[in-house]
Structures are given as structure tokens and as C-alpha cells.
Amino acid sequence: MRVLVAGATGVIGRPLVGALRARGHEVTALVRDTAGPPDPDAVVVADALDRDALLSAVSAARPEVVVHQMSALRLLRDDPAGAFAQTARLRTQGTANLVAAAHAAGARRLVAQSIAFAGAPAATPVLDEDAPLYVDAPDPGWAATVRAVADLERQVTATDGGLVLRYGTLYGPGTAYARTGSTAGRVLAGRLPLPGDGTGITSFLHVEDAVGAAVTAVESTTTGILHITDDDPAPAAHWLPHYAHTLGAPPPRRIPAPLSPRLLGWYPTHQLTTAHGASNARARTDLGWKPGRPSWREGLGRE
């Protein structure tokens, strides 16, 4: 099939281009600029926030399937606020432009990335895809992020052939949890303590499994919203000490939970104390996908 990958230079997008080509698909990479494209012979260049330029670029590729992997999270290390703001624009305005361009080009399918850790507080520790999103989170930045996620998902699922893949917290090469990543740096420096009982739950996902799920999604006809996570949702009290040990870092120090928002910020506190995991049961049944790395315990902090 002819597949267009938007966001083809990212942590998932770059290996996804290669994985799709290995499956025999004719892949075009959509990039914002020509600096370091995956393959200069199969690239179209456009800013997703420039509607006319995007329409022209996608039309030139004539895709049957469009994959939306766009974000600005590469900017996180240098400009966290800017990275989240730009990513929110890509999830809202950028998605609207890409949906319009895919439709104009005659694409029959749109697969888009989302996140599996945006659920609102609930009674159950692990949520399915029907659980509401935390659009009214008390932190303005996280609320804006989740509202942008909700808008992306609404736009994609309203299209014929639209499928949203909600990825778990990514680990592996190129991620914040890689041995050279920003989260690893904080753990190694002893700057990521464990608040309270560490009861916040994280569902992890290795980058290779994210790529594999996207390939499966391209080749399927499944629509809707699916959680793409490993099989082992874990509280921070389990994964953070394990991660520190694997990195060769000191054990995370314990701090009282009420101090955490001031020391760490709202979102890290939420992740470590109150967040919910995500069930991948629906992806197994509806998409026929399962993680090749069922648990973070074998790989988190090793790459």
C-alpha cells in the first residue's frame, strides 16, 4: 500500500518508516523540513500547521493510508512549555489540516497516535478506552494537553477508517527513559524522589512495540480508540526503585506526598501518586496485537 507517515523523524516515526518498507509498503515521509529525513528519495515537505502546503504535499504522495505521528516533544529538553504548546497545536489544528489533506488525497484510512495516560480519576486502578479523559485536571498545562488529545481523538474517529492508538509511557532508544534520556538523568542525579506511598500507576510501552502496533494498524481495518501498552501496569513504588537499580543510581529517596507538587511539579506528582494504568485487552481482541515485550521489568533502563 501507499502509506504517508507524518512525523517521520520522531522516536516512533523514523523506525516506523523502515518497518513499513520492510513489509513491502510504498512509504512517503512527511517532514517539516529537509534536515535529516529518513530517505531523501521518498519525502514530502510541509508544515502541518500550513493547511495549503500540507494539502499539496499529501496530494503529491497519493496515500491510501495516512499515519499521524506528529508532535513537538523533541523540544522538551530545551523548551518544555514550548514543546507542549506546539504539540497541542499539532493535535488540534495540525490534525484538522491532516484530516482534510488525507480526505482530499483520497486516503481510505487514518491512524493517529495519542496517549494512554490521560484518564480522569476513577475507582479502578487500570482503565479501559471508555473511561473519561482528565480534561478538567487542576493543572492548567495538563488540562490543555488532555483537551488537545481529546480533540485529536474526536477528529480522527469521526473520519471513515479512523483509528487512534493510545501509546503507554514510552521507553527504549530515543525516549526520556533511555539511559541517556532526561528522566534517567534525573534518577541518576537523585532528583526524582518517591512521594508518599508511590501509588500512581504507569503503563509502559517499548518503542519497538509502538512501531509494531502502528504497522498492524496500517494493515488492518479496525477503527476507534485502542490502548497500546504492555501487560504490566505498575505503581511507582515498584517501577521507580527498579529503574534506579537498573541504571546504577541510588534508590529514590522518600518524600511526603504534600511536598511533591512544589518539588516536582503537578504532572510528575500525579504520575507517581494518583495516575491510572491502561488495559490493552481491547487491542488484543480488536486489532490482534500484543506486546513483544510484555513487561517493562526486563528492559526499562537497559537501553
For residue 93, the 8-state DSSP code is I
- From CA 205, how far away is CA 169, in angstroms rounded? 6
Q: Can you give the pLDDT at residue 71?
A: 85
- From CA 272, how far away is CA 263, in angstroms rounded? 13
Q: Classify residue 290 by burial, with Cβ atoms within 10 Å: 0-12, 13-18, 19+.
A: middle
Sign of the Cα pseudo-torsion (12, 16, 17, 19, in order): positive
Please list, in sequence order, all residues whose beta carbon lies within 8 angstroms of the beta carbon of residue 186, skipping any fewer than 6 positions away: 192
Q: Can you give the pLDDT at residue 86?
A: 85
Beta strand 43-45 pairing with 65-68? unpaired
Other C-beta atoms within 10 Å of 199: how many?
15
- From CA 156, how far away is CA 112, in angstroms rounded? 7
| Assessment of whether the complete model's pTM goes beyond 0.85 | yes
Sign of the Cα pseudo-torsion (235, 238, 240, 246, in order): negative
Residues of the chain short of pLDDT 70, as ranges, are 34-41, 73-82
Please list, in sequence order, all residues whose beta carbon lies within 8 angstroms of the beta carbon of residue 224, skipping any fewer than 6 positions away: 129, 157, 163, 164, 286
Helices (H), the chain: 13-22, 51-61, 80-89, 95-105, 140-157, 182-188, 207-218, 236-247, 260-264, 266-273, 281-282
Q: Can you give the pLDDT at residue 85?
A: 83
Please check whether residue 233 is in contact with residue 277, taking contact to mean a CB–CB distance below 8 angstroms.
yes
* CATH code 1.10.3720.10 for 2-178+203-232+278-293: no
